[in-house]
Amino acid sequence: MTAASAPGKCILFGEHAVVYGQPAIAVAIEQRCEVKIEETNTENWIIDGLNYLPEKHPHVEGLRNRLWFQGPSLKLNIISEVPAGSGLGSSAALSIALAAAMRAKKGRRVGIDGSWHEGYSSEINQTDAYSDNLQKTDPGSICIGGKKLFGIDAIDSDELGILGHAVEAASQGGRASPTDTAAVSLGGAVLVSDKREESAEWQYSRNLNTPEGERKWEVHKISLPESFDEVSLVIGDTGVHAPTGDMVAGVAELLQKNPEKMQEIVAIGKLVRRATIAMKDGDLQALGNAMTENHLLLRGLGVSHPKLENLIKAAAPYSLGVKLTGAGGGGCMIALTTQPKTVSQAIEMAGGTAYVSKLGAGGVHLHE
Ligand code: PMV
């Protein structure tokens, strides 16, 4: 059996504005999704004891087509602490953990010099994980000599990020920013922008052909100083599900009717750049203030919800900063606080479900 896990994520700053090219910051959270895989001699794949239905599991299907198009059926076991459909990156966590387990088990053929003879990378372009016409051939099979690596030696975080982003995009009608998959695979804190930002450590670029045209993102890491150990993130789930696509479409309509609202999008971008500096400096109060300010701007874009406002009001007196996280319209809010127990209780008393995490948990991890 091979097992891997990956964390969920929270958007700290910049949701919605990121759709218009502004930067956004996301952190990996402690709640994780673990996937175990083993080969089975049944004809069908099996997920959690049930027959696998591709239409029910588009991310699994996307990875099967890219990584496991040959070979025996797999039996998958998924244990997730990341609530689904709440904007906490549950599908990204599943995709990245499964991609890691599959690659570790399948292995990777490399040449004598260590060069890859199979796999996806931003440095090689003869294989394209984003293509609709996947070439289901294994370049490794025509390689003479070399060797096959398995387990941790076969895993590459760039490849996992590409695969995760490609299957997220494929299952979301061709639209997905790499924010979730970058946070989940790299762990820690990531900054995603349409240009390289001086204030953070650039990692890689991602391009995607979306229905609205070619999009490009630059993915960076932000190193968190030690002072972050003093604070927690408390996540409050309203239990209200609002599809991300509908919320994004709502903002687009608002901007079309009121073009002056674009100033708020630009203001969010400026705030994110300010927050990046506060994060690097470990200035927790400045960070909290920026979160609350970001929430007010999001509220102005019409993406809050009475239940979010309730949880935010309950958490605010014991927090450095509070805001909704992700698409809004329901979903989750977050509070930056040194009193996680008190804030959790306040959230639960106000009718939400609370989760506590440190900021910037570890990324994808192979267990067995
Ligand atoms: O669906 P979530 O909660 O992961 O967040 C979506 C973030 C948006 O900025 C609203 C949309 C996007 O594609 O970035």
* pLDDT tens digits for range 326-366: 999 999 999 999 999 999 999 999 999 999 999 999 999 99
For the segment 88-126, what is each residue's pLDDT rounded down to a tens digit?
999 999 999 999 999 999 999 898 888 888 889 887 767
For the segment 15-73, what is each residue's pLDDT rounded down to a tens digit?
999 988 899 999 999 999 999 999 999 999 999 999 999 999 999 999 999 999 888 99
CB of 172 closer than 6 A to ligand 1?
Answer: no
Do residues 175 and 269 both lie within one domain?
A: no
For residue 164, how far is its CA from the centre of ligand 1 (angstroms)?
Answer: 16
Mutate to test the pocket of ligand 1, among 82, 248, 304 (most ligand atoms within 8 A of CB): 248
Which of ligand 1's atoms lies nearest the C-alpha of 327? 10
363 inside domain = no
Give dist(CA 215, CA 165) in Å, integer.
13
Do residues 191 and 340 both lie within one domain?
A: no
**∠ CA 75-77-82, rounded to 5°:** 150
Do residues 172 and 93 both lie within one domain?
A: yes
pLDDT at residue 349, rounded to an integer? 98
Do residues 15 and 151 both lie within one domain?
A: yes
Of the pLDDT bands very low, low, confident and very high (cuts 50, 70, 90), residue 127 is confident
Dihedral (CA of 14, 18, 23, 26) sign: positive
For residue 305, how far is its CA from the centre of ligand 1 (angstroms)?
Answer: 16
Domain housing 274: 227-358
| CATH code for position 128 | 3.30.230.10
Do residues 147 and 290 both lie within one domain?
A: no
Q: How many distinct structural domains can be found in the chain?
A: 2
Do residues 200 and 259 both lie within one domain?
A: no
Is residue 189 a contact partner of residue 233, using CB atoms and an 8 Å limit?
no
Least confident of 50-64, 129-143, 163-177, 288-302: 129-143
Dihedral (CA of 113, 117, 118, 124) sign: positive
Do residues 262 and 348 both lie within one domain?
A: yes
CB of 174 closer than 6 A to ligand 1?
Answer: no
368 inside domain = no
231 inside domain = yes
pLDDT at residue 244, rounded to an integer? 85
Antiparallel, parallel or unpaired: β 46-47 and 50-51: antiparallel
CB of 18 closer than 6 A to ligand 1?
Answer: yes
For residue 247, how far is its CA from the centre of ligand 1 (angstroms)?
Answer: 9
Other residues' Cβ atoms within 10 Å of the Cβ of residue 285: 11
Q: Which of 191, 225, 259 is the last residue of a domain?
A: 225
High-pLDDT (> 90) share of the chain, %: 76
Give dist(CA 213, CA 224) in Å, integer.
34
For residue 243, how far is its CA from the centre of ligand 1 (angstroms)?
Answer: 10
Query: If DSSP codes are grouped into helix, strand and coil, which group holds residue 113?
Result: coil
pLDDT beyond 60 at 141: no
> Average of pLDDT values for 193-212?
90
Give dist(CA 155, CA 157) in Å, integer.
7
Q: Which of 225, 252, 287 is the last residue of a domain?
A: 225
Do residues 18 and 105 both lie within one domain?
A: yes
For residue 94, how far is its CA from the centre of ligand 1 (angstroms)?
Answer: 17
For the segment 233-246, what is each residue's pLDDT rounded down to a tens digit?
999 999 999 888 88
CB of 87 closer than 6 A to ligand 1?
Answer: yes
Is residue 163 a contact partner of residue 95, using CB atoms and an 8 Å limit?
yes
Give dist(CA 211, CA 216) in Å, integer.
14
CB of 19 closer than 6 A to ligand 1?
Answer: yes
Higher-confidence position of 176 and 3: 3
Do residues 167 and 274 both lie within one domain?
A: no
Do residues 266 and 171 both lie within one domain?
A: no
33 inside domain = yes
CB of 336 closer than 6 A to ligand 1?
Answer: no
Task: Kindly tell me the number of DSSP H helices and DSSP E strands found in the chain.
Answer: 9, 15
| CATH code for position 254 | 3.30.70.890
User: What is the reported pTM?
Assistant: 0.92
Q: Which of 69, 60, 68 is nearest to 35 (CA)?
A: 60
Is residue 52 a contact partner of residue 45, using CB atoms and an 8 Å limit?
yes
Do residues 307 and 186 both lie within one domain?
A: no
Q: Which of 245, 184, 214 is nearest to 16 (CA)?
A: 245
CB of 180 closer than 6 A to ligand 1?
Answer: yes
Give dist(CA 336, CA 224) in Å, integer.
14
Of the pLDDT bands very low, low, confident and very high (cuts 50, 70, 90), residue 139 is low
State the DSSP code for 71.
S
For the segment 279-334, what is each residue's pLDDT rounded down to a tens digit?
999 999 999 999 999 999 999 999 999 999 999 999 999 999 999 999 999 999 99
Q: Which of 225, 257, 275 is the last residue of a domain?
A: 225
The span from the first CA to the last CA of the chain, in angstroms, equals: 7
